[in-house]
Chain A
Amino acid sequence: MNSYHLDHLQYLETEAIHVLREVAAEFERPAILFSGGKDSICILRLAEKAFRPSEIPMPFLNVETGHEFPELIEFRDRRAKQLGARLIVRTVDEAFAKGLAAPTPGQISRNQLQIPVLLAAIEEFRFDCCIGGARRDEEKARAKERFFSFRDAFGQWDPKNQRPEIWNLYNARLNQGENMRVFPLSNWTEMDVWEYIQREKLEVPTIYFSHSRECFRRGGQWLPVPTAHADTTKPDPYAGARPKPSEAVKSLVVRVRTIADMISTGMIESPAESVDDIIAEVAAARVTERGTRADDKASEAAMEDRKKAGYF
Chain B
Amino acid sequence: MPSRFSNPDLRSTGSHPIELLRFNTCGSVDDGKSTLIGRLLYDSKSIMEDQMEALERSADITGGGQINLANLTDGLRAEREQGITIDVAYRYFATPRRKFIVADTPGHVQYTRNMVTGASTANLSIVLVDARLGVIEQSRRHTYIASLLRIPHLVIAVNKMDLVGWSENRFREIREEFESFLPLLDIKDVKFIPMSALNGDNVVEPSSHTPWYAGPTLLGHLESVHIASDWNLHGFRLPVQWVNRPNNPRDPKLHDFRGVSGQIAGGVVKTGQKIMVLPSGHRSTVKEIWTYDGPLQEAFCPQSVTLVLEHDIDISRGDMLIGSENMPGMNTDLRARVCWMGQRPIQCGKKYLLKHTTQTVQAVVTCLENRISMDNFSADTAATELAMNDIGEIRFRAAKPLIFDGYANNRMTGAFILIEQGSHHTLAAGMLLPPTELVKAEYEDFTI
A interface residue numbers (CB < 8 A to B) = 1, 4-15, 17-18, 21-22, 24-25, 48-55, 136-137, 139-144, 159-160, 162-169, 171, 173-175, 186-187, 189, 191, 195, 198-199, 279-280, 283-288, 290-291, 300-301, 304
Check A144 against B89 for contact (C-beta < 8 Å): yes
Q: How many whole Å from A14's CB to the nearest CB in chain B?
A: 5
Check B419 against A14 for contact (C-beta < 8 Å): no
Q: Which residue of A lies closest to B117 (CB)?
A: A164
Check A22 against B48 for contact (C-beta < 8 Å): no
CA distance A141 to B89 in the complex (A): 9
For the side of the interface on B, what is the size category?
Answer: 35 or more
With A8-B99, A143-B73 known as contacts, the answer to whether A287 contacts B50 (CB < 8 A) is yes
Mask of B289-319 contacts with A, CB within 8 angstroms, 1/0: 0111100000011111000000000000100
The verdict on B108 contacting chain A, using a C-beta distance below 8 Å, is no
B interface residue numbers (CB < 8 A to A) = 1, 6-8, 11-14, 17-20, 48-51, 54, 57-58, 72-78, 80, 86-92, 94, 99, 101, 113-114, 116-117, 120-121, 229, 231, 233, 241-242, 244-248, 254, 257, 259, 261-263, 268, 290-293, 300-304, 317, 341, 353, 355-356, 358, 411-412, 415-417, 419, 422, 424-426, 429
Indicate which residue in A50, A286, A290 contacts B261 across the interface (CB closer than 8 Å): A50
- Among A159, A171, A186, A189, the most chain B Cβ lie within 10 Å of the Cβ of A171
Q: Which residue of A lies closest to B416 (CB)?
A: A169
Check A18 against B50 for contact (C-beta < 8 Å): no
Indicate which residue in A13, A51, A160, A167 contacts B411 across the interface (CB closer than 8 Å): A167
> Which chain A positions have C-beta within 8 A of B422?
175
Indicate which residue in A7, A24, A160, A166 contacts B429 across the interface (CB closer than 8 Å): A166
Check A195 against B12 for contact (C-beta < 8 Å): yes
With A9-B14, A286-B1, A287-B50 known as contacts, the answer to whether A1 contacts B229 (CB < 8 A) is yes
Check A166 against B415 for contact (C-beta < 8 Å): yes
Check A53 against B244 for contact (C-beta < 8 Å): yes
> Which chain A positions have C-beta within 8 A of B257?
53
CA distance A35 to B439 in the complex (A): 49
> Which chain B positions have C-beta within 8 A of A17?
263, 304
CA distance A169 to B422 in the complex (A): 19
Check B86 against A166 for contact (C-beta < 8 Å): no
Check B241 against A18 for contact (C-beta < 8 Å): yes
Check A171 against B424 for contact (C-beta < 8 Å): yes
Q: How many whole Å from B89's CB to the nearest CB in chain A?
A: 5
> Which chain A positions have C-beta within 8 A of B87?
144, 159-160, 162
Check A198 against B304 for contact (C-beta < 8 Å): no
> Which chain B positions have C-beta within 8 A of A18?
241, 263, 304
> Which chain B positions have C-beta within 8 A of A163?
425-426
With A18-B263, A198-B14, A284-B8 known as contacts, the answer to whether A173 contacts B73 (CB < 8 A) is no
Check A169 against B51 for contact (C-beta < 8 Å): no
- Among A5, A17, A169, A187, the most chain B Cβ lie within 10 Å of the Cβ of A169
Check B17 against A169 for contact (C-beta < 8 Å): no
> Which chain A positions have C-beta within 8 A of B77?
300-301, 304
Check A171 against B304 for contact (C-beta < 8 Å): no
> Which chain B positions have C-beta within 8 A of A54?
244-248
With A54-B245, A144-B88, A187-B92 known as contacts, the answer to whether A6 contacts B302 (CB < 8 A) is yes
CA distance A140 to B304 in the complex (A): 30
Check A141 against B263 for contact (C-beta < 8 Å): no
Q: Which residue of A lies closest to B58 (CB)?
A: A300
Check B241 against A25 for contact (C-beta < 8 Å): yes
> Which chain B positions have C-beta within 8 A of A139?
75
Check B99 against A283 for contact (C-beta < 8 Å): no
> Which chain A positions have C-beta within 8 A of B57?
300
Check A199 against B14 for contact (C-beta < 8 Å): yes
Q: Which residue of B lies closest to A305 (CB)?
A: B77
Q: How many whole Å from A17's CB to the nearest CB in chain B?
A: 4
CA distance A18 to B48 in the complex (A): 32
What 7 pairs between A and B have smallest CB-CB spacing? A140-B75, A7-B17, A173-B424, A291-B50, A17-B304, A283-B11, A49-B292
Q: Which residue of B lies closest to A136 (CB)?
A: B90
Check A25 against B317 for contact (C-beta < 8 Å): yes
With A49-B291, A144-B87, A191-B94 known as contacts, the answer to whether A166 contacts B50 (CB < 8 A) is no
Indicate which residue in B75, B92, B353 contacts A144 across the interface (CB closer than 8 Å): B75
CA distance A227 to B257 in the complex (A): 49
Check A21 against B76 for contact (C-beta < 8 Å): no
Q: Which residue of B lies closest to A15 (CB)?
A: B302
